Amino acid sequence: TESGQPLVVVKDVQKHYGDFHALKDVNLTVNKGEVVVVIGPSGSGKSTLCRTINRLETITSGSISIDGQELPAEGKALAHLRAEVGMVFQSFNLFAHKTILQNVTLGPIQVLGKKKSEAEAEAMKLLERVGVAHQAQKMPAQLSGGQQQRVAIARALAMHPKVMLFDEPTSALDPEMINEVLDVMVELAAEGMTMIVVTHEMGFARKAANRVVFMADGQIVEEATPEEFFNNPKSARAKDFLSKLL
Ligand code: ADP
Ligand code: MG
ipTM surpassing 0.90: yes
pLDDT in tens, 192-239: 999 999 999 999 999 999 999 999 999 999 999 999 999 999 999 999
Closest of 93, 15, 112, 119 to residue 57, by C-alpha = 15
Question: Could you write out the DSSP letters of every residue in 13-79?
Answer: EEEEETTEEEEEEEEEEEETT-EEEEE--TTSSHHHHHHHHTTSS--SEEEEEETTEEPPSSSHHHH
Report the C-alpha gap between 167 and 188 in whole angstroms.
16
Distances (CA, A) of 52 to 15, 32, 81, 112: 9, 19, 13, 22
Label the pairing between strands 35-39 and 211-216: parallel
Q: Which-ligand-closest: CA of 57?
A: 1
Q: How many CA atoms lie within 13 A of 181 on its CB side?
A: 30
Instruction: Show Cβ contacts of residue 136 under 8 Å, excluding neighbours closer than 6 positions.
Output: 99, 100, 101, 123, 124, 127
Q: Please tell me the predicted confidence (pLDDT) of residue 239.
A: 96
Tens digit of pLDDT for each residue in 47-68? 999 999 988 899 999 999 999 9
Which residue's C-alpha comes closest to atom 27 of ligand 1?
17
**What is the number of the ligand closest to the CA of 172?**
2
Question: 228: CA distance to ligand 2 center in Å?
Answer: 24
Residue 237 CA to residue 106 CA, distance in Å, equals 43
- Which residue among 48, 54, 237 has the greatest number of ligand 1 atoms within 8 angstroms of its CB, and so is best to mutate? 48
Where is 237: in which H helix or E strand? Answer: helix 236-245
**What pTM does this model have?**
0.95
Q: Distance between CA 181 and CA 169 in Å, rounded?
A: 8
Q: How far is the CA of 1 from the centre of ligand 1 (A)?
A: 33
What is the C-alpha separation between 161 and 88, in angstroms, rounded? 12
